[in-house]
Amino acid sequence: MKPKIAITLELSAKEDSQLNFLNLAYAQAIEKAGGIPLHFPPLSSPEIFKEALSLIDGLVLSGGADIHPSYYGEEISAPISLSPNQRTEFDRQFFHAALKAGKPILAICHGMQIMNVALGGSLYQDLAAQLPGSIAHRQGEGKAPARHRAKVEPASRLAEFMEGMLEFDVSSTHHQAVKVLGKGLRVNARSPDGVVEGIELPDHPNVIGIQWHPEKDPNSEASRRIFRKFVEMSHH
């Protein structure tokens, strides 16, 4: 049996006709790695998580817009583009439920920020405004992803994922980043400017967060290793 992997969906901000959507690349990457991708819309019933966890073997928290700063005790103080709170709340609860159930979790970009905030951490609301000197981590709306290096901490769980490949180029489309780490987290990767590019939970070795978008680099060996290792971990 192939592992069944839940992937969270983005939610449009229009309340009159809400749309769920997601780059097909996430599902394609899971399928290519040997898993069966399942999409989960941001519904709010607690029963959803209980039922979902009995159906799935792993969880991908996907990318998206910005988490409202109220989730980490701040007010809006920089240029941001908000994701609906309904989606933030769903992903946050799904993360906690999957963590409690011991499911492998791969948190990508917005998903990694959900992971950090869910564990009590905070974010830079806008790197350009709040961290002068940081490199370009995104190109702008409608443009190709930015490219930069990511360097993996050698003694980390992510280093095991990468099987010795500790420095590589990544696709980057974020303007926010981890500021204060959430409880129990440690950094497993950084970009050349020192910005946190990956986090993990030593007490839960099958939970990995990365700030870049491996699904946007399907032909990259680094991307293939991440998805392959994650799907392998999701085997019973």
pLDDT tens digits along 52-108: 899 999 999 999 999 999 999 999 999 999 999 999 999 999 999 999 999 999 999
pLDDT for 43 equals 85
pLDDT tens digits along 11-45: 998 878 899 999 999 999 999 999 999 999 998 77
pLDDT band with cut points at 50, 70 and 90 for residue 143 = low
pLDDT at 113 over 80: yes
- Look up the CATH number of the domain holding residue 208: 3.40.50.880
Give the closest residue to 54 by CA, choosing from 96, 92, 95, 97: 97
Distance CA 214, CA 212 (A): 6
Active site residues: 109, 213, 215
**Mean pLDDT of the chain, nearest integer:** 93
Phi-psi map region of 157: left, alpha, beta (phi>0 left; psi -120 to 50 alpha): alpha
Percent of the chain with pLDDT over 90: 80
pLDDT band with cut points at 50, 70 and 90 for residue 146 = confident
Q: Confirm if 42 and 9 have CB atoms less than 8 A apart.
A: yes
Q: What is the DSSP track for 46-69?
A: HHHHHHHHHH-SEEEE---SBPPG
| The total number of structural domains that make up the chain | 1
Which residue range forms the structural domain that includes residue 62? Answer: 4-233
pLDDT for 142 equals 62
pTM for the whole thing? 0.96
pLDDT at 6 over 70: yes
Q: What is the DSSP track for the chain?
A: -PPEEEEE-EE-S-SSS--EE--THHHHHHHHTT-EEEEE-----HHHHHHHHHH-SEEEE---SBPPGGGGT----S---BPPHHHHHHHHHHHHHHHHTT--EEEETHHHHHHHHHTT--EES-HHHHSTTPPPS---TTSPPEEEEEEE-TTSHHHHHHTT--EEEEEE--S-EE-SPPTT-EEEEE-TT--EEEEEETTEEEEEEESS-GGG-TT-HHHHHHHHHHHHHT--
